[in-house]
Amino acid sequence: MIYKELPKEGIPVTQARDIRSSDDIILDADVVVIGSGTGGAIIAHNLAVAGKKVIILEAGRYVPSSEFTEDMAWALENLYQDVGAQTNTIGDTVVMQGNCVGGSSVISATIATRAPDYVLESWAKDHGVEALAPNNIYPYYEKVERHLHVHLNEPHEINDCANAIIRGCEALGWSWRPQSRNAKQCALTGHCLAGCPSDRKTSMPVTYLAWATAAGVRIYSDTYVEQILIKNGRAVGVSGRVIDPKNQAVIANIKVNAQIVVSSAGAIQTPLLLQRSKLPNKNNQLGRNLSLHPTGVVLGKFPVPVYGWRGAFTGMHIDEFLGEKNGKMLMESGLAAPVQLMAQNELSMGVDHIRFMEEFKYFSALNILIPDNGHGFVHWSGPIRGGSKRIEWNMTKDEFALYKDGLKRAGRIFFAAGAERVYLPTYQRVQASSLEELDSIVDGIDYGSLGIFSMRLVSLNAQGSCRMGADRTKAVVDPYGQTYEVSGLFVSDASLLPTIAVQHPLLTVAALAHYISEQILTRHKGYFWS
């Protein structure tokens, strides 16, 4: 296999606007990959490099990075699933997900961290996925880290939002580390969540997808896969529709015949696709075990301006509470545009709201990520066309209690760093002006009925809804990436993770994609006719 010429910028993508006829589109490939995020891009690249004819179908639109605006509201409308308003069924937790060529890698905060060893060991030991044991997965991590320019932040990449938190940690004697990020020569603009217009974030469109197209992979955007075609227990292709992103009009039906199907649509969309495709679900695990890794943002208001949005979006994380016996709680710095406050904090009213917003430059932000235990589930309701998704998840009492611990820790850090006020992310307006006030205020936050509308939460790391494992009564996917119920159907995204990764899953998904592509080319090479 010889790479063709790599374009200097952008990638060739067939978009809805390129399709001139409403005739059905029928394509043939060795492999069809659904989704162009991290898991899909890497598999597509690796299989194409091995000489396979690969087609990627992406439901989102293709927005070249040259068109990125560094405007979060624009990004929500053009790069995020459901305009950034995808929520659980109750509507109190926003589930963020990329919906564009490159998927969530385009809108990620560039955090690229390995899962802790105790998590990897548990995946190997308790779930029988030997490939995920630390020593086995490390080579894959190393390869991805090399390809994506993953590095620990240098001092100049740690902004004053992070420095304020570091001051607090050091005053309290709590351990912290510079954030590990996938960025090359970061320009420190702070607009990661809206996409990087100078291509310094090593997202999929400027790395594996670009390389994949140079290796012959064809990408179709605006193409929504309705179902996987299954014949005699074997995946034989997919069918769907090309949809105009401007008006949702159907441009054409599309069918891809393939010897192998890989679903890389993410932990929300992959189980929905498999359910729409009537994948047998004998063990009732498909769509279950969903973890959202819920995130809340605590704001510390300092007496002098912090300008917390300037510099690299995320500078550091606190590893003091990350251990298996310390709560597996991840805390990290990160403050984005003013609209971020809309999504993650109670907004008060009237003059109070304007005054709150005018404090923006005085804020540092600490994100708390709680390890939920996979009690959520995703299911498709109704017919293939006209049905809808349901994301069932609400915070348990244990998670709620842990989250309150996180709020107290965040408050302590901010007060130790000299903050004069702390805003807590609840559906009521809750703030503390002193350490003494903090505990009683947090203790007073009520779980209410099933925790509904108690905490303002965002999920950035949905995972686990098609988990892999050696026990077919408990898993959807076998330890080599293939579904138990349908041969020739593989999964490569965060839905595979047996339990919560505790750290952000991007790097683990990337490592797994390398591993699964190797399995396809070795263990399952018999699937290919050519």
Smaller CB distance to other proteins: residue 73 or 172? 73
> Min. distance of Cβ 429 from other proteins in angstroms?
8
Residue 23 engages other proteins in binding (rule: CB under 8 A): no
The torsion angles phi and psi of 199, rounded to 5 degrees, stand at: 60, 25
> Min. distance of Cβ 498 from other proteins in angstroms?
27
> Min. distance of Cβ 453 from other proteins in angstroms?
3
Scan residues 470-489 and list those touching other proteins (CB under 8 A).
Answer: none
Scan residues 103-122 and list those touching other proteins (CB under 8 A).
Answer: none
Task: Report the distance separating Cα 231 and Cα 134, nearest Å.
Answer: 37
Smaller CB distance to other proteins: residue 142 or 398? 142
Residue among 341, 294, 320, 295 nearest 166 (CA): 320
Residue 73 engages other proteins in binding (rule: CB under 8 A): yes
Residue 207 engages other proteins in binding (rule: CB under 8 A): yes
* Residue 50: both structure tokens together: 């091995």
| Structure-token match 């199907």, residue found | 261
| Among 4-12, 273-281, 415-423, 474-482, the segment contacting other proteins (CB under 8 A) | 4-12
Smaller CB distance to other proteins: residue 171 or 187? 187
Residue 294: in which H helix or E strand, if any?
Answer: strand 294-301
Give the β-pairing of 250-263 and 25-34. Answer: parallel
DSSP summary character for residue 115: P
| Among 203-211, 395-403, 503-511, 520-528, the segment contacting other proteins (CB under 8 A) | 203-211
Residue 184 engages other proteins in binding (rule: CB under 8 A): yes
Smaller CB distance to other proteins: residue 236 or 511? 511
| Among 127-135, 188-196, 412-420, 496-504, the segment contacting other proteins (CB under 8 A) | 188-196
Residue 151 engages other proteins in binding (rule: CB under 8 A): no
Smaller CB distance to other proteins: residue 6 or 152? 6
CB 62 within 8 A of CB 100: yes
**Residues ≥6 apart with Cβ < 8 Å to 200:** 183, 184, 185, 186, 187
| Structure-token match 């611990």, residue found | 405
Residue 8 engages other proteins in binding (rule: CB under 8 A): yes
DSSP summary character for residue 183: B
Q: Is 144 helix (H, G, I), strand (E, B) or coil?
A: helix
Residue 508: in which H helix or E strand, if any?
Answer: helix 506-521
How wide is the angle at C-alpha 43 spanned by C-alphas 41 and 44, nearest 5°? 65
Scan residues 303-342 and list those touching other proteins (CB under 8 A).
Answer: 305, 307, 309-310, 337-339, 341-342
Smaller CB distance to other proteins: residue 175 or 388? 388
**Residues ≥6 apart with Cβ < 8 Å to 498:** 122, 123, 126, 127, 129, 132, 464, 467, 468, 469, 475
Task: Report the distance separating Cα 80 and Cα 68, nearest Å.
Answer: 13
Smaller CB distance to other proteins: residue 451 or 498? 451
Scan residues 243-302 and list those touching other proteins (CB under 8 A).
Answer: none
Task: Report the distance separating Cα 352 and Cα 349, nearest Å.
Answer: 6
| Structure-token match 């060529």, residue found | 101
Tell which one of 133, 171, 229, 343 touches other proteins (CB under 8 A): 343
> Min. distance of Cβ 383 from other proteins in angstroms?
14
> Min. distance of Cβ 82 from other proteins in angstroms?
5
Smaller CB distance to other proteins: residue 65 or 364? 65
Give the β-pairing of 54-57 and 150-152. Answer: unpaired
Scan residues 403-432 and list those touching other proteins (CB under 8 A).
Answer: 427-429
DSSP-derived secondary structure for 152-178: EPPGGGS-HHHHHHHHHHHHHT--EEE
* Residue 292: both structure tokens together: 């959202």
Task: Report the distance separating Cα 202 and Cα 52, nearest Å.
Answer: 25
* Number of residues binding to other proteins, judged by CB under 8 A: 79
Q: Which amino acid is at 76?
A: L
Residue 224 engages other proteins in binding (rule: CB under 8 A): no
| Structure-token match 């679900």, residue found | 281
Tell which one of 140, 220, 313, 360 touches other proteins (CB under 8 A): 360
> Min. distance of Cβ 77 from other proteins in angstroms?
6
| Among 62-70, 280-288, 399-407, 479-487, the segment contacting other proteins (CB under 8 A) | 62-70
> Min. distance of Cβ 328 from other proteins in angstroms?
27
